[in-house]
Homo-oligomer: A and B are copies of this chain.
Amino acid sequence: MKNNLEILKRCGVRPTPQRIAVVKYIFESKGHPDADTILENVRKTCPTISRATVYNTLNLLVAKGLLQTQILKGRTVIFDPNTQKHHHFVDDATGKVFDIPWDTLKVSQNKTLQGFQVRDYQVIMRGRRES
């Protein structure tokens, strides 16, 4: 496990206790938490942290490229510490999000997409998670 403090320093963000706590939770939970889940959990170790600070920190981390955002369940933003290319699977029953490795799927073009310059893409799958 890499030092969370280092992560912040390396991208030129002052490593305040609040920020360290947020980073620690996100990078150690390895899930796809939304802002409220992050707030709740970070408050266990840093009880005074405010809603606004959590949002500020998350948006900062996104701007620095340490997190990606996704909207996959309902209308709430989730924060994804996996910044490598990957696809997603959303469980119908629970809404839980799973990362699908990039090389699991291959997307090929049958017909040319005239007039569209694709910068990025992903496959979003939905269904039942078994077992």
Residue ranges of A at the interface with B (Cβ–Cβ < 8 Å): 71, 75-77, 89, 92, 98, 100-101, 103-111, 113, 115-131
Contact = CB atoms under 8 A, between A and B. Distances in A.
Nearest to A89: B116
Contacts of A113: 89, 100, 104
Is chain A's binding surface mostly helix, strand, loop or mixed?
A: strand
Given A71-B75, A103-B111, A106-B107, 13 more contacts: A71-B71, A75-B76, A89-B113, A89-B116, A105-B110, A115-B129, A115-B131, A116-B128, A116-B129, A117-B127, A119-B128, A121-B123, A121-B126
A80 to B, nearest CB: 15
A87 to B, nearest CB: 9
